[in-house]
Amino acid sequence: MKLSSEMTAFSNRLGHRFSDPALLIEALTHPSVDSPARTRNQRLEFLGDRVLNLAVAEALFHAFPQAEEGELAPRYNELVRKETCAEIAAEIGLGQVLRMGRGEMMKGGRKRLSNTGDAMEAVLGAVFLDAGFEAARTVVLTLWGDRVKTAEGRSKDPKSALQEWAQARGQEPPVYEVADRSGPPHDPVFTIEARLSTGQSARATAGSKRQAERAAAERLLRALKT
């Protein structure tokens, strides 16, 4: 099986050349695609999540030899969370090559945090099956890069950070409102607006209210700091 030029370019950005290109195609196939279940990416996502967890835990263990478990845990949680996976996915243009059904694509699925974050994990699972843990670890260490050493400064929950930002300036705590809800009851998609008393706001979309609130808070924080 031969990869398309777009997927070949993505493979180059990923930093891994697949011996079995079918694994990459499977990792980049969203469940909305009308195809046999074995060619969609949920199983690879399951595997890739575990690969990422081990690679990050090992990296932190060696990067902070004097740190206790209580110091490593928040760094670890920051590095493996879905939002961070989605950030990495955006940096390497994963959404551009994600295969999905027309309905999902029309709803902005290529930019949806849950889709890109899940697919990033699935890609790591594909690398693991294609070339083993060493190759997968190399990809993680390359893509996550300096985040491994700076995670402590990023470990605070963005909702807490936004609230502290507002309170430090004498403002009311931010509010979070559901701007939109779509999708079937068993798989809802939420668009949440985070808004300050000054009227400054930002929106984000995710597969749960909690994820969307965190992403909206993070987006608003970035806007406030620019």
Q: What is the DSSP string of 69-96?
A: HHHHHHHHHHHHSHHHHHHHHHHTTHHH
CA gap 26, 123 in Å, rounded? 9
Q: Which of 93, 127, 153 is the last residue of a domain?
A: 153
Q: Which helix (H) or strand (E) holds 195?
A: strand 189-195
The pLDDT value given to residue 153: 52
Q: Which of 153, 173, 192 is the last residue of a domain?
A: 153
Cβ–Cβ under 8 Å, residues 90 and 10: no
Catalytic residue among 45, 49, 78, 213: 49
Q: φ, ψ for residue 126 (rounded to 5)? A: -65, -40
Verify whether residue 69 is a known catalytic residue. no
pTM for the predicted model, two decimal places: 0.70
Verify whether residue 121 is a known catalytic residue. yes
User: How many domains, in total, are found in the chain?
Assistant: 2
Let me know whether 175 and 69 are in one domain.
no
- In this prediction, residues 40-61 reach a mean pLDDT of 95
Residue 155 binned pLDDT confidence (cut-offs 50, 70, 90): low
- Cα 30–chain centre separation: 15
Domain housing 212: 158-224
Catalytic residue among 83, 121, 193, 218: 121
The pLDDT value given to residue 148: 92
